[in-house]
Amino acid sequence: MAQKAIDPAVRILVCCGTGCIANGGLEVLAALRSGLAHRNDMEVESSDSALVTGCHGLCAQGPFVRILPQDITYCRVQAKDVEEIIAKTLEGGTLIKRLLFRDSQRKEFISCRQDIDFYRHQHKIALRNVGEINPDSLDEYMERGGYQALRKALEDMSPDQVIAEVTRSGLRGRGGGGFPTGRKWLSCAATADSPRYIVCNGDEGDPGAFMDESMMEGDPHSILEGMIICAYAIGASRGFIYVRDEYENSVRRLEKAIKDARARGFLGTDILGRSLDFDIEIVRGGGAFVCGEETALLRSIEGEAGEPRDKYIFPSEKGLWGQPTVINNVETWVNIPVIIVHGADSFASVGTESSKGTKVFSVVGKVLHTGLVEVPMGTTLRRIIFDIGGGVPRRRKFKAVQTGGPSGGCIPESGLDMPVDFDSLRQAGSMMGSGGMIVMDDRTCMVEIARYYTNFLAGESCGKCTPCREGLRSLLEVLTRICHGQGNPGDLDRLEEIGETMRLASLCGLGRTAANPVLSTLRYFRDEYRAHISQKRCPAGVCPELTELYIDAVLCNGCTLCVKYCPTRAISGQVRQVHVIDREKCIRCGECVSRCNQDAVLVR
Amino acid sequence: MTAELRKEETAEEFHKLIQGYPPEKRYIIPIMHELRRCYQYLPRPALEMLADHMQVPFSQVYGVATFYKAFSLVPKGRVNLKLCDGTTCHIKGSQGLIDEIYRTLGIRPGETTGDRQFSLETVNCIGACALAPALIVDEKVYAQVSNARLQEIIEQNRRGEDGTESN
């Protein structure tokens, strides 16, 4: 192997999103930097060639190391692999096969990112910079066209023109409601009151959704730029970014971005030499799910308990401290600079009739390639889950996908070919929400999952209005009973009645949608509820009281794998002999089901 | 280690911390965050001082403190196990980990061991769904935690700063 000097132009992008950090991304970065620093012939500083980036999206395969300009992507990299990467790939110019992405369907190894199915079907607008730049570097953001939109807006457009452009683009709020962004801005600009405020909703509370986190961590300047453009359009002087309490990395990177933007004159007084004064501060949330609701979030910024209020007057007229306030979700803000630079028509050319542009989904759960996916509105669920996500792992069967977070709904296999946009999901009894997509296989019990969401929401309901507070408790009580095998025949009607009342009578969006998980599973998986109630049986084998696991004598090959992993030593059997589960000792944890390579552990 | 962050719970320390913020209501939550960082819970004398500083009734401060999940009114253990029970972690077995922690340490979510070594809380998704089930101990995220791995993590954290058994 010919040893040659490392190309000084080489750039090594190391993913330091939350997922990759947990898998050792920072250690990989440190090893790369020290490894490169030890190479004497290296002409550039090691910290200039080994760079931190935000999330690369395919989190299940992290940590990622992407080498440019060759465009080689290594996955599952650990610090101990770094020496080999430097010697073989950077100096020797050869690929290390075991670190490449393996396409299990095509059975081949792939080095170039764009050839991986997961990336090939995506269309990146909101995530355009995430994973491509160092989020802590304003210069890198500007090299990729950052702050050009702001310059264009300030120099060539009037505030009205900016609002008109956003309206014409058809952009709808990405936080879940899908309210037209341009209309929100217009109604705020039309009020006579001042001061006016701008708020970025980064209180991403839906379990299973992390797209806002990846944008705050991976491309903070795009959010700032979107907000500054809006400040110009509606005449606001102060902005707030409300960040979820758990997102430490996001806070750090946003703080750095705000500091840098101030130093460069993008924030502060007389921005870009114009008479625009605007500054942004970060507010950390307190860990309350309801604060994702905009009126509750505003209360929280004011220093109160985050209870929502009725929205007969929108925050765009009376919001923070009773003043006109534009509040948009992180992903909405990130889209703004693109609309201004490339124009509304270009943005509106992507997507469906009623929902323009792209949407970022976090595809998680029982899916092969867990991660962040950005696709044009109108892409089918099948494409997202199977072509991009790689389908359900371990030969299991797809059962449902839950969209829209805890107050969304479960969509069964029959809905897979539905094009996804705000309206189609609502018709299917679910919603877009912030874009979480949780894939479930036949080992997920739909009653138990409805109970899980209801339990979550019952804990998060702020308690202000009765339908939500008491309705959730009643739902939870009935669902818990069903899961424990004590369901009554009348329970299903009761669930629907309570759910319907909550939908009609609750004060805020949380309560009005809180029954969705129950109502949608009842709509599509009623048989599973009935099995729990009348046959006292959990078909998925999840609810312990209603489950009995057994080993199929024909399928079992006697490998002893289940014997080894059973936490209660309930399985007995010698090598090459059929194993048996002791019903008394079994706690139905399902460890054996997921361990068995022969799919021999079955649910009775 | 967390223990190093913990300041003395004295009136002077509380005073210094609270006076660092202007007496505007919107700083109530940031002050609570800082109290939490320093003490891992909100000591009552500090909350009383906070109410005085903001010139609001104590009940209002108390209302805020109990509304948000991030804040605790009771002291936490030296090591706080934060177990993610988001949807993905839930369907990938976080409940089994909760049971295992109960079998090992005898605590359920929201509880602290008698020796104040460990406490357990569940959080609703830390945005690391690809790594489910996930456990956070002192800001470090452990990915795909199994029962066996959980035991290792507990053992590692059982030791005090000087490396000796501390329980």
Query: In this predicted model, what pLDDT tens digit does every residue of B83-110 receive, in sequence order?
Result: 988 777 787 788 889 999 999 999 999 8
What angle, rounded to 10 degrees, do the helices at A181-189 and A220-234 form? 40
Backbone angles phi, psi at B94, to 5 degrees: -65, -30
Cα dist. A576→A518, A557, A562, A568, A600 in Å? 45, 6, 13, 21, 14
Cα dist. A333→A64, A212, A351, A509 in Å? 27, 11, 18, 21
Residues of B whose CB is below 8 A from A444: 91
Start-to-end CA distance of chain B, whole Å, equals 16
- Is residue A490 located within the same domain as residue A574? no
**Chains A–B, number of C-beta pairs less than 8 Å apart:** 138
In the listed set B30, B46, B67, which residue is the last one of a domain according to the structure? B67
Residue of A nearest to B140 (CA): A22
* Distance in Å, alpha carbon of A253 to nearest chain B alpha carbon: 16
For the cut 50, the answer to whether the pLDDT of residue B162 exceeds it is: no
Element counts in chain A: helices (H) and strands (E): 25, 19
> What is the CATH number for A369?
3.10.20.600
> What is the CATH number for B142?
3.40.30.10
Residues of B whose CB is below 8 A from A306: 67-68
Q: Domain total for chain A?
A: 5
Cα–Cα dist A591/A166, whole Å: 51
**Confidence band of A595 (pLDDT split at 50, 70, 90):** confident
Query: Region B6-27: what's the mean pLDDT?
Result: 90
Side-chain-side CA neighbours of residue A136 (13 Å):
12
Residue of A nearest to B96 (CA): A589
In the listed set A508, A533, A558, which residue is the last one of a domain according to the structure? A533
Dihedral over alpha carbons A54, A58, A62, A67 (to 10 degrees): -70
C-beta atoms of A362 and B129 within 8 A: yes
Task: Tell me which residues of chain A, numbers 121 to 180, contact chain B at a CB-CB cutoff of 8 Å.
Answer: none
Q: Output the average pLDDT for chain A.
A: 91
Residues of B whose CB is below 8 A from A364: 87-88, 129-130, 132
Please, are residues B108 and B102 in contact by the beta-carbon 8 Å criterion? yes
* Distance in Å, alpha carbon of B12 to nearest chain A alpha carbon: 24
Rounded to the nearest angstrom, the gap between the alpha carbon of residue A223 and the centroid of all alpha carbons in its chain is 17
C-beta atoms of A287 and B139 within 8 A: no
Q: Which domain holds residue B137?
A: 79-158
Residue of B nearest to A368 (CA): B130
C-beta atoms of A210 and B125 within 8 A: yes
What ipTM describes this predicted complex? 0.82
Is B31 inside any structural domain?
yes
Is A193 inside any structural domain?
yes
Q: Which domain holds residue A429?
A: 358-441
Is B55 inside any structural domain?
yes
In the listed set B47, B67, B87, which residue is the last one of a domain according to the structure? B67
Question: Taking the model in full, what pTM does it have?
Answer: 0.87
Query: In this complex, is the C-beta atom of A36 within 8 Å of any C-beta atom belonging to chain B?
Result: no
Residue of B nearest to A59 (CA): B130
Residue of A nearest to B132 (CA): A365
Query: In this complex, is the C-beta atom of B47 within 8 Å of any C-beta atom belonging to chain A?
Result: no
Is A272 inside any structural domain?
yes
Query: In this complex, is the C-beta atom of B63 within 8 Å of any C-beta atom belonging to chain A?
Result: yes
pLDDT 10s digits, A322-349:
999 999 999 999 999 999 999 999 999 9
- Is residue A334 located within the same domain as residue A477? no
Query: Region A237-262: what's the mean pLDDT?
Result: 94
Side-chain-side CA neighbours of residue A224 (13 Å):
33
* Distance in Å, alpha carbon of A208 to nearest chain B alpha carbon: 6
- Is residue A155 located within the same domain as residue A190? yes
Query: In this complex, is the C-beta atom of A23 within 8 Å of any C-beta atom belonging to chain B?
Result: yes
- Is residue B86 located within the same domain as residue B135? yes
Please, are residues A588 and A544 in contact by the beta-carbon 8 Å criterion? yes
In the listed set B41, B67, B93, which residue is the last one of a domain according to the structure? B67
* Distance in Å, alpha carbon of A427 to nearest chain B alpha carbon: 23
Q: Domain total for chain B?
A: 2
pLDDT 10s digits, A2-19:
456 778 788 899 988 877
Query: In this complex, is the C-beta atom of A248 within 8 Å of any C-beta atom belonging to chain B?
Result: yes
pLDDT 10s digits, A78-98:
999 999 999 999 988 899 999
What is the percentage of chain A residues whose pLDDT exceeds 70?
98
The residue written with tokens 């395969």 in the block is A61
Please, are residues A374 and A357 in contact by the beta-carbon 8 Å criterion? no
Residue A394's CB is within 10 A of a number of other CB atoms, namely 13
Please, are residues B41 and B73 in contact by the beta-carbon 8 Å criterion? yes
Q: Which one of B67, B127, B140 has the shortest CB-CB distance to A305? A: B67
> What is the CATH number for A61?
3.40.30.10
